[in-house]
């Protein structure tokens, strides 16, 4: 079982290049991040070369968080901004060798939001395809992200089917899915062909996975038995310094 460190949550006390090096020292197999855009590409590539880690994924910009933006691609009337954010994310992903871009939907609802999201995702998939990049969409729970357009795996699959692009996949975050739908084992099993990346954190506090209501030893074993070999994304909020929370990497691996 391989693990990826989500640097939007882990080692947030240091710049991204230093966090990449910390992830390598801690034994992670890959890294992923949210918004790397303020870090020069050369610095990111140097850290990735020094560690031998790959950057699995990054997010499109949220827009203007101060005014309440949490993504742009499902917002009618803001298509130009959404596509500019998509272009920027794909350019950065290409420059650092990232293989996935998470296109954030934003706070919206209704048929017009669905249509905008489908249109912008169609654009994103077409732009990403020549570079071998997959586009991801992620349902977020209504408690942490009230008003976010995408909330459930069923809704995400409906959007993916409406777009009909071979490089569009579901980002399955066990934390969000457990809060909204539960039944993680069956959902992972049935949705696995549609999944482009899996993330995890404890429920309900979004801490390290060796606490809370989800038995991640069972989840990780299930994924191994299903033949899933890609790194799983550790996207949790450490209580204290990140290094002190990493005991789960030893105790929860299948066979540990």
Domain spans of the chain, in order of start: 3-251
Distances (CA, A) of 182 to 38, 140, 213: 36, 13, 11
Where does 3-251 sit in CATH, by number? 3.20.20.150
Distance (Å, whole) CA 54 – CA 76? 35
Give per-residue pLDDT as tens, 170-179. 999 999 999 9
Among residues 32, 79, 81, 235, which one is catalytic?
Answer: 235
239 is known as an active-site residue: no
pLDDT for the residue 215: 97
Please state, for a pLDDT cut of 70, what percent of the chain lies above it.
Answer: 99
The whole-number average pLDDT for the span 141-147 is 98
Rounded to 5°, angle at Cα 84 from 122 and 144: 80
The whole-number average pLDDT for the span 152-166 is 98
213 is known as an active-site residue: no
- DSSP E strands, the chain: 3-6, 30-32, 57-59, 100-102, 134-137, 168-173, 195-200, 232-234
- 8-state DSSP, 174: H
Among residues 138, 181, 213, 239, which one is catalytic?
Answer: 138
Q: What is the mean pLDDT of the chain?
A: 97
Residue 11 · residue 22 · CB < 8 Å:
yes
pLDDT for the residue 253: 85
Name the pTM for this structure: 0.97
pLDDT for the residue 256: 59
The whole-number average pLDDT for the span 18-27 is 98
Distance (Å, whole) CA 193 – CA 184? 15
Distance (Å, whole) CA 235 – CA 72? 22
The whole-number average pLDDT for the span 222-229 is 97
Q: Quickly state the pLDDT bin for 254 (edges 50, 70, 90).
A: confident
Please state, for a pLDDT cut of 90, what percent of the chain lies above it.
Answer: 98
Give per-residue pLDDT as tens, 102-115. 999 999 999 999 99
């Amino acid at each position: 079982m391989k693990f990826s460190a989500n640097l939007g949550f882990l080692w947030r006390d240091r710049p991204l290049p230093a966090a990449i090096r910390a992830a390598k020292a801690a034994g992670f197999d890959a890294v992923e991040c949210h918004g790397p855009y303020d870090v020069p590409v050369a610095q990111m590539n140097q850290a990735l070369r020094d560690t031998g880690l790959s950057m699995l994924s990054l997010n499109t910009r949220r827009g203007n968080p101060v005014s309440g933006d949490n993504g742009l691609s499902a917002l009618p009337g803001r298509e130009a901004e959404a596509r500019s954010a998509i272009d920027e994310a794909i350019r950065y992903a290409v420059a650092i060798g990232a293989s996935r871009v998470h296109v954030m939907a934003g706070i919206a609802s209704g048929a017009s939001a669905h249509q905008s999201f489908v249109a912008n995702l169609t654009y994103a998939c077409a732009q990403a395809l020549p570079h071998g990049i997959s586009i991801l969409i992620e349902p977020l729970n209504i408690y942490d992200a009230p008003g976010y357009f995408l909330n459930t795996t069923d809704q995400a699959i409906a959007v993916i089917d409406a777009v009909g692009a071979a490089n569009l996949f579901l980002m399955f975050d066990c934390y969000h899915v457990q809060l909204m739908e539960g039944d993680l084992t069956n959902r992972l099993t049935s949705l696995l062909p549609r999944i482009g990346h899996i993330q995890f954190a404890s429920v309900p506090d979004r801490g390290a996975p060796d606490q809370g209501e989800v038995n991640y030893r069972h989840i990780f074993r299930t994924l191994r038995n299903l033949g899933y070999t890609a790194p799983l994304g550790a996207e949790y909020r450490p209580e204290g310094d990140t290094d002190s929370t990493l005991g789960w990497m030893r105790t929860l691996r299948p066979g540990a």
